[in-house]
């Protein structure tokens, strides 16, 4: 007899729900019992994962990696040999306050990369988006905000409080001063010293870094429209290759610009700059 609300008995041929794969932890790794590892996480030999760490599904923690602090790593990331993620900020003002490091999904963090959490003076968190590539020996300091699909090449170093917008590419051995902003789809050539904001869609290089034109290859890869490229080219000529002051150049570029989101973003970025932008 079937009572009201009673489920029917499970059929002998019905398949049970699959069990999510448990984390795979090498016997030489040290993982705090309070650390939260989602299904499919792999922890390699001699890795160390501390108490407050949270790691998303299918993320791979490589040999000799260290993940510490209040660090959250998303799904499908990969940390390669010797990466140190979440260690305390290299800031003399840091006094041991609780702060966060939040890393999105599908990031590749290569050998010996170092990434620090935030500080009280910078909002208390460092945030990295998704689909990024952080090449060997690169460094992301405290309170940085990194967008999606960002590439930071070998031995590049980002000081504290830096904002990097989506799809920016930072070349090898680049040094970026604290509080600098790096605009979307910009490209910074190798060995550059960046002390001012890098405009969106720009190619900059040098010591100090200077604007050399549009990042045409990056825009091609991002499928930026031909019309937007033409309008950006006109705006760049006014902003960076005229003899106008930046204030007057912004006014003229705004008058000449049509309804183009890319140009609007460029002008707003330059207007909001506190450190000034790299010039030609």
Mean pLDDT of 249-266: 92
**Which of 69, 128, 83 is closest to 104 using CA atoms?**
128
pLDDT (0 to 100) of residue 228: 96
Catalytic residue among 91, 105, 143, 197: 143
DSSP 197: B
Domains identified in the chain, total number: 2
* φ, ψ (nearest 5 deg) of residue 229: -60, -45
The pLDDT of residue 258 is 81
The question of whether 74 is a catalytic residue gets the answer no
Residue 91 shares a structural domain with residue 161: yes
Residues 111 and 142 in one domain: yes
State residue 5's pLDDT score: 45
- Quick one: pLDDT at residue 259? 85
**Domain C-terminal end among 205, 220, 235:** 220
Strand partners, 60: 42, 78
Measure the CA–CA gap between 70 and 86, rounded to whole angstroms.
7
Per-residue pLDDT at 6: 47
Domain co-membership, 200 together with 150? yes
pLDDT tens per residue, range 93-115: 999 999 999 999 999 999 999 99
Q: Same structural domain for residues 93 and 117?
A: yes
- Which of the residues 142, 171, 197, 265 is marked catalytic? 142
Q: Is residue 43 situated within a structural domain?
A: yes
Are residues 212 and 233 part of one domain?
A: no
Q: How far apart are the first and last CA of the chain?
A: 85
User: What pLDDT is recorded for position 20?
Assistant: 77
Any domain includes 15: no
**Among all chains, which residue has been given the structure tokens 């790299």?**
278
Average confidence (pLDDT) over 206-220: 97
Q: Judge whether 16 lies within some domain.
A: no
How far apart CA 258 and CA 231 sit, in angstroms, is 8
Report how far residue 90's alpha carbon sits from residue 111's, in angstroms, rounded to the nearest whole number. Answer: 20
Residues 206 and 229 in one domain: no
Same structural domain, 232 and 200: no
55 and 137 co-located in one domain: yes
Do residues 244 and 125 share a domain?
A: no
Query: Could you tell me if 82 and 107 lie in one domain?
Result: yes
Q: Average pLDDT of the chain?
A: 94
With a pLDDT cut of 70, the percent of the chain lying above it is 94
Task: Determine the average pLDDT of the residues in 18-47.
Answer: 95
CA-nearest of 141, 33, 139 to 88 is 141
CATH number reported for the structural domain that contains residue 124 in this entry:
2.160.10.10
Determine, yes or no, domain membership for 278. no
User: Do the domain assignments include residue 8?
Assistant: no
pLDDT number for residue 14: 57
Phi-psi region of 33 (alpha: psi -120 to 50; beta: other; left: phi over 0): alpha
Domain shared by 125 and 202, yes or no? yes
Tell me the pLDDT band of 3, cut-offs 50, 70 and 90.
very low
Band of pLDDT at residue 4, cut at 50, 70 and 90: very low
Q: What is the pLDDT of residues 114-133, one digit of tens each?
A: 999 999 999 999 999 999 99
- Please classify residue 203 by burial: count the beta carbons closer than 10 Å to its beta carbon, then call 0-12 exposed, 13-18 middle and 19+ buried: buried
- As a whole number of angstroms, the distance between CA 238 and CA 225 comes to 20
Residue 131 bears catalytic tag? no
pLDDT, tens digit (0-9, with 9 covering 90-100), for 47-72: 999 999 999 999 999 999 999 999 99
CA distance 233 to 214: 7
160 is catalytic: yes
Structural domain boundaries enclosing 256:
223-271
Residue 147, burial from CB neighbour count under 10 angstroms (0-12, 13-18, 19+): buried
User: Looking at the domain assignment, is residue 162 inside a domain?
Assistant: yes
Same domain, 202 and 247: no
Summarize pLDDT for 147-173 with one digit per residue, the tens: 999 999 999 999 999 999 999 999 999
Could you say which of 132, 160, 171, 172 is catalytic? 160
Residue 248 included in any domain: yes
């Amino acid at each position: 007899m079937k009572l009201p609300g009673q489920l029917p008995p499970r059929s002998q041929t019905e398949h049970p729900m699959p069990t999510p794969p448990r984390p795979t932890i090498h016997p030489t790794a040290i993982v705090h019992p309070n650390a939260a590892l989602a299904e499919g996480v792999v922890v390699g030999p001699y890795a160390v994962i501390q108490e407050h760490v949270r790691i998303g599904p299918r993320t791979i923690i490589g040999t000799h990696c260290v993940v510490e602090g209040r660090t959250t790593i998303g799904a499908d990331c990969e940390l390669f040999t010797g990466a140190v993620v979440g260690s305390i900020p290299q800031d003399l003002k840091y006094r041991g306050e609780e702060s966060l490091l939040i890393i999105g999904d599908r990031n590749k963090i290569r050998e010996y990369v170092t990434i620090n959490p935030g500080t009280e003076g910078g909002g208390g968190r460092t945030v990295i988006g998704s689909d990024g590539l952080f090449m060997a020996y690169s460094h992301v300091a405290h309170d940085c905000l990194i967008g999606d699909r960002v590439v930071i090449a070998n031995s590049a170093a980002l000081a504290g409080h830096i904002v990097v917008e989506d799809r920016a590419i930072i070349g090898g051995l680049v040094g970026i001063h604290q509080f600098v902003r790096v605009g979307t789809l910009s490209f910074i050539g190798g060995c550059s010293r960046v002390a001012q904001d890098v405009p969106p869609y720009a190619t900059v290089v040098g010591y100090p870094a200077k604007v050399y034109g549009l990042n045409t290859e990056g825009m091609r890869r991002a499928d930026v429209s031909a019309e937007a490229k033409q309008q950006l080219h006109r705006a760049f000529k006014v902003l960076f290759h005229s003899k106008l002051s930046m204030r007057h150049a912004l006014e003229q570029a705004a008058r000449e610009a049509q309804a183009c989101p890319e140009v609007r973003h460029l002008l707003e970025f330059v207007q909001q700059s506190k450190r000034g932008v790299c010039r030609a």
